[in-house]
Every structure is written in structure tokens, then in C-alpha cells.
A and B are shown apart, each in its own frame.
Chain A
């Protein structure tokens, strides 16, 4: 009963943290949807590294006031044009990294995991180095890394809704093309499909989703939502439709439930969401084993 009361309270339009609830819910629904392709293309490790790389891009944007390029971040958070710059920083770093990794993979030299791991480590280190002399920016970044989803402004919500609407509509319209080139690249080429174009569009959507999510909820929560719900969905989905629906459903429900638990117990929202999804994954694996037996 208490849980239901909490849920009704946070869903009330007058709730003081309504922006945080809305953004968490959107990230919880959209990230797993795009994460389906990371799991299917066996790019799980990339799903961990890209949010970290995106946060390095945001750290770069945070560090710009120090370089005199733009105004100061307000209390460690961006507003207006600064937010746009932070988004561009995250997106730019993500897309450039994706392009570099794709070129290296095409050349076929060295270990893919090694390159992604190096990017992950470098991105983490550079985030802190960029902000070492900028206390205001460092505070904002630490909030992001901790997954504090409290200070979500109206503009955060608008940007998140706009970007996710674009991602969602594009995914819905070109679902069969993305699926086809991911599952059987060779047959797609034999039917004269522009595989490179579809790959680029898919990775643009992945980059956009990650950049916006990292800016709103931080890298840890982003890769939690990108990977764990699709892994749960993969255990029960008998076709692609079920797989994607279960992944997004689990993500959305976890986002709301995590917010309720965090609000009631006064815990940080992001880590609570990820811990809850971890428990759901363990539970679903257990259920799957029992059902298979």
C-alpha cells in the first residue's frame, strides 16, 4: 500500500521531481530498445564504453568555461546554450570514437576488445583530467557519474523528448532494414541494400541515445538501461517483437520502481535503478532455468 502511495505521489503532475521521473522513464524505455541491437550485434562491451566516452565529451564541454570559450556552468549544471554544447560534446566524442573503431575494425588488425577497453580507460581518465582545475565542472561531472537524477531542468526534458522521439520514430520506420543488415549482411548486399548507410544510421541513433541519456542520467545508469533489460528480454522473447517489447517494458518498469524505492529510502536514483535491474536479471535467469527444467 505504501508502495502504491509512493507511485501515485511521484506520478502526480505537481510532484517536485516530475522532470526527473519523466526523464528516467524515457531513458528506461528508449535505451533498452536501442540496446537490443548492441546485444544482437555482440557489442555489449561497446555499450559500456560509449557512455563513458560520451561523459568525457561532456567533461570537455564542462571544461570550456575554463578555456574562456563559454560562460560558467550554473552550480555544476548546464543551462540553455551550454546544455546544447554539452550535448554536442558528448555526441561528438561518441560518434568520432565509433567512426575510429569502425575504421580499425574494417582494417581487421589488432583486438577489437582491446581497442574498446583502451577507449573506455582513456575516456574515464580524461574526464577527470579535463576538470581537475575546474571545481564547478567537476562537481557537475561527479553528480553525473554517481547517477544523481535530481536537477533535471525543463530544457533537459524538452531535449530528451525531442531526441528520443526522433530515435523512436526512426527505429520504428526502419526496424526491418536495421534488423536485416544486422542479421545477414551478406544477403542484404546481394539484394542491393546500402548496408553501410543503414549501419551509419543505426550507429547515429545509438550515439544520440547514449549522449542524451548520459547528459540526463549519467554513464552508469545509461549502460545499465542499455544492456540489462535487453539481456532479460533475450531470455523470454520468442521473436524480435517480443524481445524488444520485453526489454523496453522491463526498462520502463525498473525506472519507475527504482525511483519509488530511491524516493522512499532516500537513495540515489541511478544506482537504485541499476541494482533493481540486476536483481531482476538474476531472478529472470532463475525463472528461465526452472521453466526449462
Chain B
């Protein structure tokens, strides 16, 4: 698929229907759009990165995608293989979570169960076992009894990814998972996401500022520039010519 700007004009019909489609969506707050008429397609099993400058509407777009914010205009369409309602595994920016809550990492991970458990149902052994399994998958198995607020940035991110996995998501959506994290932890998080994508075929959409991380990990790039969302393969979207055009500089 080549680079395209909204509206989408696909050259051919994909063999498998896309997992998520944004059709000329406008997103913002109180009915005032920050980003207007944006369209994109997320194929099942894709790993996509969402790029853009500060205030371009990246976080607003993914918050609207997962249902936190209402759309100003347009629509999202979701299609799962067996027709069930699409489940999001949303990983917010970790600074948005108040450290005043004395939650253990296991308690945080268990919140992922709430989407599938009816209100009033107690957490059983199977849910706890599953949460521990997801913590282990995320490399946070040894953190389960530690207070979440006392973890490092990288450790918190692993626990939040585990929590998203506990929900058994169709689409993992991460809001700047490597922001403010040291280089070693960044590498670990990137490796974790790559492994989840490769081994479990998980569809991932990740907001990220780090071009290096995006180049190494994702297959598709969605880039918001001057209020327009473009989508294309990573090699094309992050080519030198395109970067020069978008960043308005001459790369050495």
C-alpha cells in the first residue's frame, strides 16, 4: 500500500476485511475538532505507528478510537473475525495514573479483567492466574506484589501492557509507551511489543515520538502533519525525501 492522504482511495480490495477503519473522522474536545476529516485503515495483524508533532491530535485520535472521547464527525468501523465487539487493550500515558492509589502490580493487571467480568462478580482464581501469566509475558512476573506507584517508568509500562493483555484485546493501542523511559527500558519495551506482534499476531497501534523506535518496529505509519493524516508503509513514510518534506529540513 502506498502513501495516501485523506480520503482513502484503496487501489484494491484487501482479501481480509480490515480490523478498524476510520472514515473521515473529526476528533477534538467539546465539539471543536483538533484533527478533521482523517481516514485510515488498520489491517488485522498490523503493527502501526502514529506520528505527529505535539498538539497535532495523536492522543485525541486514539482516545476517540477506543471510545474515551466522542467523535465530532465521521465514523469508525470495526470488524472482528467472528463478529464479536472489538476489544481494545488501551495503554495510557503512565503519568495519567495517580500514584496516590496503593495498588500492587497484580491489582493493576487484574483491572484488565473488568471488561469481561459482569459487575458484582468476584475475581476468581482463573482470572488471577491469567493476570499473572500476562505479567510474566510482559516481563513483569516478579513485580506482582510490588506497589505500582513505586515502580520505574519502564516497569510501570510493562505492567500496563500486561493489564491491556489481560483484557484479551483484538487491538492494542499504546499512547507513547517509551516516553520518559531510559534507553535500556525502551529497548525492552520495543522487544516486548515486537514479540507480542510476531508470536501472537496482535494488531498494534502505537503513538510514538521516537522515529528510531518507529522505524525499527512498525510496518505501517500514520503521520499527522499540518492537520492532515497520511498513511503508508514505514519505508515510504520515513524515507529521507518524505522526512525532509515533513520536517522541512535537509537531512545529512
Question: Which A residues are closer than 8 A to B by beta carbons?
Answer: 39-40, 42, 173-174, 176-177, 179-180, 182-184, 186-193, 234, 237-240, 242-243
Contacts and interface: CB of A to CB of B under 8 A. Distances in A.
Interface string B97-112: 1101111100110110
A257 B104 CA distance: 32
Contact of B102 (A42, A186, A191, A239): A239
A-side binding surface: helix, strand, loop or mixed?
helix
B97 A240 contact: no
Contacts of B96: 184, 186
Contact of A240 (B90, B103, B163): B103
A191 B119 contact: no
The 10 closest A-B pairs by CB, nearest first: A191-B115, A190-B66, A190-B90, A239-B104, A173-B120, A189-B68, A190-B88, A237-B102, A186-B68, A243-B102
B114 A188 contact: yes
Contacts of B120: 173-174, 177
Given A42-B98, A179-B111, A184-B96, 5 more contacts: A40-B100, A42-B100, A190-B173, A191-B90, A242-B102
B88 A191 contact: yes
B111 A183 contact: yes
Contacts of B88: 190-191
Contacts of A243: 102
A180 B112 CA distance: 9
Contacts of B14: none
B167 interface: yes
A183 B107 CA distance: 11
B92 A183 contact: no
Given A174-B120, A176-B114, A187 B103 contact: no
Nearest to A243: B102
A220 B110 CA distance: 37
B123 A193 contact: no
B44 to A, nearest CB: 19
In the complex, which of the residues B107, B114, B145, B173 has the most CB atoms of chain A within 10 Å of its own CB atom?
B114
A237 B103 CA distance: 9
Nearest to B93: A186
B114 A180 contact: yes
A193 B119 CA distance: 10
Contacts of B87: 191
Nearest to A239: B104
A243 B102 CA distance: 7
A240 B115 contact: no
B53 to A, nearest CB: 22
Contacts of B110: 176
Nearest to B116: A191
A223 to B, nearest CB: 19
B67 A189 contact: yes
Contact of A177 (B90, B119, B163): B119
B63 interface: yes
A192 B102 contact: no
A173 B118 CA distance: 11
29 contacts: A39-B100, A40-B100, A42-B98, A42-B100, A174-B119, A174-B120, A176-B111, A177-B119, A177-B120, A180-B114, A182-B101, A183-B101, A183-B103, A184-B111, A186-B92, A186-B96, A187-B90, A188-B114, A189-B66, A190-B66, A190-B90, A190-B173, A191-B114, A192-B85, A193-B115, A234-B102, A239-B104, A240-B103, A243-B102
Contacts of A174: 119-120
In the complex, which of the residues B63, B68, B123 has the most CB atoms of chain A within 10 Å of its own CB atom?
B68
Nearest to A197: B119
A53 B32 CA distance: 37
A184 B114 CA distance: 12
A34 B145 CA distance: 24
A39 to B, nearest CB: 7
B147 interface: yes
Interface string B163-187: 1000100000100000000000000
